[in-house]
Amino acid sequence: MATTPEHERIIDIFDQIITFSYAYEWQKLQNNAIDELFKLRDGISSHVERESLYLFMSPTEKKDSVISILNKLSDAVQNDSCPKVIDFEDVWLNKPENLGCWYINEKQEEEFDEIAVLVNYVICSLNRSLPNEIKPFVSFEQVDALFKKSYEEISDRFTVPIHKDLLVSMIHQHFLKTFAIEQNTLEEVNSYRELVDSYCKKAVQRFVKMVQENFIDKAVINFFDQAKGIGLEIDRYYSWALICYGPITYEELLSWYSYVNAHELVKDSHYQDNKNLNKADLDLKLKKILNKEIGYVLYPSAPKGGIKRYMFDSNRTPVLIDGKTLQNHLVMSFPYDKPLSDLQDKLRNYARYIGNLVNSYGHTYGHTVGFEDEVKSATAYRLMETPYKRLSLSNVGGVLQHICSLLFLQYERSNDDSAKKIDYQKAFTLNLINDHGFSYGESSVNTARNSRKTVMLKVVNRFRKPQ
């Protein structure tokens, strides 16, 4: 069949899953590090469940916290250094007396008018003190300096915690916008209450996020010693969270492959018909596959061995620029005095990764539709310009053979004695594949079993080469 972008995308997804699965099986053969990582994950999950009561987290937020702790622990182990727990006094004027969201909301309601007065005072001071030719170019630093001076003059009015950088940034943007629109009537612009209302909502979001980050960083410190003893190799390429939550059974992978063939999105010559498919279940599974709710993309994530780290998530690694610690930034860093290897691949990975971060942040804290569309458009262009580089598959023809090989690798680490018998493995695998609508021969199953470790090493060595 003629290939389509959707067809190629599906093959890319299966390549990502198969490549990750080989890496997982390879690691299981090296040592018990994955088992130790699972113990760590379970300990973190119990800690989050027990200690996060005052945060009123949903089940999804609790799992997200466990994922964040795992990934931050991975970075801490690589850097042999724990993150610094952020002090609220470094970010907020009037340190919050209570870590409950209700406290901030209550104080904002009580002192809403006072915040509006402060905003009005700063904007009017800017308008009076700056020459007209300077106003369109006023910097954040200038507004910040004037804000500090204005706040000191009336600080005794406030008990509400104020996120200084956020409020200064919004005053700065408001001043530039309103000055451009109504240069001569700036002091008459009656939109301060809208600005304060918007600020209050964003400040609460920042507060909640900071409380959660504070909780996560303390957990990283708490579990650091245990994490240091885990001897993983594949965490050079995959996050600890993915290693913990990413594995799927290869029976499920086979069922996914049956689904996409049933939808004729790919066409494997071995596929006949799967009479066991439920139409509603098929559509649900297909949506999950196409939406890529599984993120198995290969990202070098740690500076071990020959891997040079080039992406830094400011929520996992401190990033300092112009003397300021960035938040919610993904930074890419390359030397310009040395040759760059695989630059296009790295740019593609960056585009895919930042797109995922934008989606995740927007899902949790909210984004404007326009902003998300802009990011999707930019990252889609980069991904189209530099296609995903497959490591396991060249086309659809190899999927079944790889699933067979993975099944045999899975049998070998089974605790079930019958599953370790060769004849049982072959018969079970052949029946399983045929039950999913494929016509597959015994000789093909034998080939997959005999070459399983050779194929696994071949795939793993492709991404273990120094970059």
Specify whether the CB–CB gap between 54 and 212 falls below 8 A. Answer: no
Per-residue pLDDT, 82? 84
- Please name the residues in contact with 268: beta carbons below 8 A apart, sequence gap of 6 or more: 257, 261, 396, 397, 399, 400, 438
Per-residue pLDDT, 414? 79
3-state secondary structure 54-99: HHCCCHHHHHHHHHHHHHHHHHHHHHCCCCCCCCHHHCEECCCCCC
pTM of the predicted model over 0.75: no
Run means of pLDDT, 10 residues per run, the chain, 467 residues: 74 88 93 94 94 78 88 86 81 79 85 89 87 85 90 87 91 79 45 85 87 89 93 87 85 88 86 72 61 49 46 70 70 74 70 68 54 55 58 88 94 76 90 92 92 93 67
The two tokens of residue 189 are: 């612009």
Per the listing, tokens 């009017």 go with 124
Cα angle value 318/36/353 (rounded, 5°): 40
Per-residue pLDDT, 299? 46
Q: Among residues 285, 287, 280, which one has the least CA distance to residue 253?
A: 285
- What SS3 class is residue 120? helix
Backbone φ and ψ for 386, nearest 5 degrees, come out as: -130, 90
Per the listing, tokens 């965490």 go with 235
In whole angstroms, give the CA distance from residue 404 to residue 406.
5
Describe the crossing of helices 442-450 and 399-412 by its angle, rounded to 10 degrees: 60
